Structure 1
Amino acid sequence: MARGRFFWLWSGIWLVYLIEPLAQTWQDDDGAVRVLGVVVVGLFAAVFVAFFARLRRARLAGEPVPEPIGWAAVGALALLTVAITPAIGESALGMLTFVAVTALFSLPRRPALTIAGLLIAVPVAVPLAVPGWKIRYDLSFSIFLGCLVVWGVIQMLQRNAELAAAHEEIARLAVVDERNRFARDLHDLLGHSLTVVAVKAELAGRLVRLAPERAENEIGDVERLARQALRDVRAAVAGYVEVALAAELAGARAALDAAGIEADLPDDVDAVPAARRELFGWVVREGVTNVVRHSGAKRCRIRVTPSEIEVSDDGGGAGASSGRGLAGLGERVAAAGGSLAVSSVRGQGFTLRVRVP
């Protein structure tokens, strides 16, 4: 509603320039000329308002006015100006403001500026060739001022459109980033937890008859891991996932033991800066998941320094060297300014190394 009122106010302001040619027409002694002049001026105003209505619809739709419509409007206004000139003389020059404004609003920049420049010069140049006409510097300045105002409005509209497009792009990227974060967290959390659950459930199944008490403990671990996985999923949804290096190392030891893989893990991680422990925890989670799931290894070694962490095994080199898990880990490492290297050679084991400067 407010935009509609502004539109009509904007159109009405420009119609002020038609007062002089309309008054000049009305004062003509010839009734036929008077009627013809009023009709032409009325038609001129109708074309101008119709063009602005089309311009408004295009702006609301976020589209430019089709160039053919712009040329048609400019041509029609110019022809009507020429048609009324014999009746009212130099007063018709005031109508050139409308032609210039329409050109700036609807045509490409170069032809629009060319037309505007020519029209600004007309009130000064044409009277030199027409006897009895006075040079109208004031009218040239009025056309120039009108063009300047319209040019400023056009630039403002373009900037607003660019700003709106930028806001939309930022919102879209934020949604994509959040979707990727959730997918990465969900994969990393559930991939590890479900792998350990599967290994422990399989172990419990083998121990049911051989060692019922140990099987019962493994089933208890499965229940605990399932509940922890549920908490992790809720944390991922809320965006508050926290991973601690020490806790991940303890979990890695349990997962490797359940899988029958010897674990060679560091006992102390105090030398690792606090800012890097979460990232290194993600590395342990992803690396050990790959070892348990893919390697067929007998031994897994994790080496940690203040700036580097390495997860390696002596398996067949079948650890996943690509996929969503390592891709997500790579995103985390890149965000921390670090580097990730993966070595997976058949028969020589699998190595995952992350270094943060």
Structure 2
Amino acid sequence: MTSVTEDRGAEATVATIGRPPENRQEALRKLLWIGIWLAFLGAPVSDLLKEQHTAWATTLGWVALAAFVAVYLALVFRHTARPFARVTVASILVSLACIAVITSLTLGAPWLVLFVYVSVGCGAVLPLPLARWAIPGATAAMALAGLTTKGDWGDFVPGLAIPALLGGFAMTGVRHLVRTTVELRQARATVAQLAANEERLRLARDLHDLMGHSLSLITLKSELAGRMLPDHPDQAAQQVADIEQVSRQALVDVREAVTGYRRATLTGELAGARTALTAAGVAADLPAESGAQLPPGAPPGAEEALAWVVREAITNVVRHSAAKRCLVTLGERQTLDGRFVELRVADDGRGGPGAAVPGNGLTGLAERLAKVGGSVEATCGKGFTLTARIPLASRECEHGVGEGPSAL
């Protein structure tokens, strides 16, 4: 186990939903996810390979299919990064629809599948109110075109109508999910900024409360001592002594305040643990930060000691365990030796037989827990488990022995 360091590379592993590709690798990944659905174009490709049409018609078919695919990919891929203008979007959709109509009427029913991509394109790029009408419209156009195409209408249109409707409306749902994700990311950034601003205000307020009165008093007494120094050296010496006393007390107050700022808390450590585990690709099952409260009877310093346990244990999971899942539990436990608050951190990574070999991390945690009467235990097996226990005061001690009307 090692001490906590800054988590680097977290942003590189964060999902890029709703964000334009930032490099070639992300662009290729997005293009792959869009292009994989082109597999359903097997029907028109098979129709061209069967050589049932004239050479001229086959050539035009390949050109039309290549143009359709290129325009479709450009429309959907570009819309995920920098959307086209509305006029451009409308022109592209009309072009796709025209290619679908012409090829279906001239080459036959297998080309009706192009209308499915027109429907998906409408759901991907059109405003949601307009997409609700354009998707059924594209499906209806496919049905009408199927009435005059070569081939059996019943073999193609009924089987393509449902994919056209579902594909189009599913794309509108994906867009809504992307928009919600972007808004959530922006809201989180806003909350983080507000929290930082609130922390700055708190620091300024605390510094004013701590130092304002002391510095004002030091200034006043310094001026008074300066006036008394020529004629009343004894009184000036008393003022200087008061200045020294106020300065020492101010220094003590500042040190206590800084110690409070640097004190580890369970809430903060659990929030940091969730972020670190997610960035490392480890499924995190942690208590809610808002509910990370110790049971009644916990000794002073217990929260800080357990916070250090969380910090050290999560660092070990991220750096050394190669785990897929990490479970953190916190709660009260009743044993034959009394009541304890127990914190357990378990992962499913590299383990091993027997007990873990104590290192600097375990030794440091044991020393911290010993100050509050607690203990730490590490076990290896199918994964690694770290358990910290701190005794709680008995309920009689919490309420006071012999209290009540019947006490003598």
Query: Which amino acid counterpart does residue 20 of structure 1 have in structure 2?
Result: A
The equivalent of 2:64 in structure 1 is 40
2:175 aligned partner: 154
**Aligned counterparts of 2:64 and 2:150: Cα–Cα separation in 1:** 24
**Cα distance in 1 between the residues matched to 2:92 and 2:251:** 66
Query: Residue in 1 aligned with 2:364?
Result: none
Alignment of 1:155-174 (within 5 A): 155-174=176-195
Distance in 2 of aligned mates of 1:84 and 1:124: 14
Are residues 35 and 5 of structure 1, via their aligned partners in 2, closer, same or farther at CA, if it must alter by over 3 Å?
same
Shift of 1:217: 2.2
Aligned to 2:209: 188
Q: Which residue of 2 aligns with 1:82?
A: 101
Cα shift at 1:46: 0.9
Following the alignment from structure 1 to structure 2, what is the Cα–Cα distance between the partners of residues 123 and 47? 19
The Cα of 1:32 is off from its aligned counterpart by 0.4
In the alignment, is the contact (CA less than 8 A) between 1:18 and 1:41 conserved in 2?
no
CA contact (8 A) 2:109 2:150 kept: no
Of 100, 125, 141, the residue aligned with 1:122 is 141
TM-score (norm. length: structure 2): 0.52
Whole-angstrom distance in 2 between the partners of 1:129 and 1:41: 20
- After the TM superposition, which residues 134-153 of structure 1 pair with which residues of structure 2 at under 5 Å, given as runs? 134-135=153-154, 136-153=157-174
Name the amino acid aligned to 1:18: L
Two-structure CA RMSD over aligned residues (Å):
2.7
Equivalent AA in structure 2 for residue 22 of structure 1: V
Q: Which amino acid is 1:24 matched to? A: D
Partner residue, 1:67: 86
Q: 1:68 to 1:129 in 2, by over 3 A?
A: same
Match of 1:220?
241
String of CA shifts for 1:296-343, please: whole Å, max 9, x gaps: xxxxxxxxxxxxxxxxxxxxxxxxxxxxxxxxxxxxxxxxxxxxxxxx
Please list the CA deviations of residues 82-125 of structure 1 after superposition, one character each: whole Å capped at 9, or x if unmatched: 33233212322210111111121211111112111112233434
The alpha-carbon deviation at position 15 of structure 1 amounts to 0.8
Query: For 2:187 and 2:61, how far apart are their aligned partners in 1?
Result: 49
Separation in 2, partners of 1:168, 1:77:
39
> Structure 1 residue 19 and structure 2 residue 38: aligned?
no
- Rounded Cα–Cα distance in structure 1 between residues aligned with 2:84 and 2:249: 59
Q: Contact 2:119 / 2:168 at 8 angstroms: preserved in 1?
A: yes
1:52 maps to a residue whose letter is: V
1:113 to 132, 146, 159: 132
Query: SS at the partner of 2:56?
Result: helix
Matching of residue 101 in structure 1 with residue 125 in structure 2: no
Within the candidate set 197, 200, 210, 2:218 is matched to: 197
Fraction of identical pairs, as percent? 32
Cα–Cα, structure 1 residues 67 and 230, in superposed 2: closer, same or farther, change >3 Å?
A: farther
Alpha-carbon distance in structure 1 between the residues aligned to 2:150 and 2:63: 27
> Within 2, Cα distance between the matches of 1:24 and 1:131?
12
**3-state secondary structure, aligned to 1:209:** coil
The answer to which structure has the higher helix fraction is: 1
Structure 2 distance, partners of 1:29, 1:126, is 19
User: Structure 1 pair 85/120, CA: closer, same or farther in 2 (3 Å)?
Assistant: closer
Paired residue for 1:250?
Answer: none
Q: Distance in 2 between matches of 1:79 and 1:233?
A: 75
The residue type equivalent to 2:228 in the other structure is: L
Separation of aligned partners in 2, 1:76 and 1:129: 20
DSSP-derived class of the 1:57 partner:
coil
2:153 partner SS? coil
Larger RCO: Structure 1 or Structure 2 (Cα < 8 Å, ≥ 6 residues apart)?
2
Q: Is the 8 A contact 2:72 2:96 kept in 1?
A: yes
Q: For residues 265-304 of structure 1, what are the structure 2 equivalents within 5 Å?
A: none
State how 1:234-245 maps to structure 2 within 5 Å. Answer: 235-236=256-257, 240=261
Which stretch shows the higher mean deviation, 117-126 or 161-170? Answer: 117-126
- 2: distance between equivalents of 1:7 and 1:185? 49
Query: C-alpha distance in 1, partners of 2:85/2:53?
Result: 42
Is the contact between residue 17 and residue 95 of structure 1 (CA under 8 Å) also seen in structure 2?
no
Flag the structure with larger Rg: 1
8 Å contact kept, 2:105–2:149? no
- Cα 1:53/1:234, change in 2 over 3 Å: farther
Contact 1:70-1:102 within 8 A present in 2 as well: no
Q: Which amino acid aligns with 2:96?
A: L
- Name the aligned partner's letter for residue 23 of structure 1: S
Q: Which stretch shows the higher mean deviation, 188-197 or 33-42?
A: 188-197
Q: For 1:15 and 1:170, how far apart are their aligned partners in 2? A: 41
| 1:179 partnered with 2:234 | no
- Whole-Å separation in 2 of the counterparts to 1:150 and 1:108: 12
Q: Which amino acid aligns with 2:79?
A: L
- SS of 2:52's equivalent in the other structure is coil
Q: Any conservation in 2 of the 1:25–1:87 contact (CA below 8 Å)?
A: no
3-state SS of the aligned residue for 2:229? helix
Rounded to whole Å, the distance in 1 between the matches of 2:84 and 2:245 is 65
